Structure 1
């Protein structure tokens, strides 16, 4: 018998796995928010596992693997991990995700590394950064802009909640 490939066709070396309390609801959210395509799920009525395609990446959605310490977060909990999702249009993607139930953490903004990004929380407690590349930059250009951003933040006067310095 021939040994199978290290990873299934269509998967990369690292595959994110999100634990949620309700896999079926998360699948609906991902389809509506990010146009995800469900490729595999264990059952149709009450799935405990699914594999979805987001763009050119695969993501596992599970009800958790307790033996691995992989359990669903509380919906409002902070997360040490954020998924960075490249999209065609950040503003349109934020609007679509919010319509599907996401909450905006930070509005779309341009970054020093040449992307326009926004941060979202899905209804299940996971954090997402949606990003579109707006310019191609060299590592030297990114380093120079990063240094300038740090210098600007160190020299600006603090501003209070009313906008007064």
Structure 2
């Protein structure tokens, strides 16, 4: 297998819209309860809330959060699209987030204490990462990784 440098194609060009940093791609997560999702991602996973939007009924419909320059939007199911999240649909997501952190063991513990489920315990991977697979309370799957 040819050894590649996974990071040699990283473009260091800022986004033209102020506040977007280097992020040119935003992932949208559809959930039944935006407030609960924001609380989990900011509280247990250390993400930062950037913006929140309430509907006329006072219920949160949308939020933007960020993890180290990567933006995520959290959308109430049925608000921006007809898509349901995995928690409501019962179907697993066809993708996995791979998230590098400073301390994988500590973050996995925080996630579990906040309601996540460990699918694969932390283990050293042949490529040099310590990695655990965790399902968050909304059904999204995260590979929590730390470079060893």
Contact kept in structure 1, 2:61 and 2:79, CA below 8 Å: no
Superposed, 1:107-126 pairs within 5 Å as: 107-126=121-140
Superposed, 1:9-20 pairs within 5 Å as: 9-10=20-21, 12-20=23-31
**Using the alignment, how far apart are the partners of 1:36 and 1:5 within structure 2?**
23
Aligned to 2:75: 62
Q: Say which SS state the counterpart of residue 34 (structure 1) adopts.
A: coil
**Using the alignment, how far apart are the partners of 2:87 and 2:113 within structure 1?**
21
Q: Is 2:67 aligned against 1:51?
A: no
Contact kept in structure 1, 2:87 and 2:137, CA below 8 Å: no
Contact kept in structure 1, 2:132 and 2:145, CA below 8 Å: yes
Aligned to 1:28: 39
Which consecutive residues of structure 2, in runs of 5 or more, have no partner in the other structure? Answer: 1-14
Aligned to 1:98: 112
Aligned to 2:9: none
**Using the alignment, how far apart are the partners of 2:127 and 2:105 within structure 1?**
18
Which consecutive residues of structure 1, in runs of 5 or more, have no partner in the other structure? Answer: 135-165
Number of matched residues? Answer: 131
Higher relative strand content: 2
Q: Say which SS state the counterpart of residue 48 (structure 1) adopts.
A: strand
**Using the alignment, how far apart are the partners of 1:66 and 1:43 within structure 2?**
11
**Using the alignment, how far apart are the partners of 1:52 and 1:95 within structure 2?**
21
Q: Is 2:142 aligned against 1:128?
A: yes
Which 4+ stretches in 1 moved above 6 angstroms? none
Higher relative helix content: 1
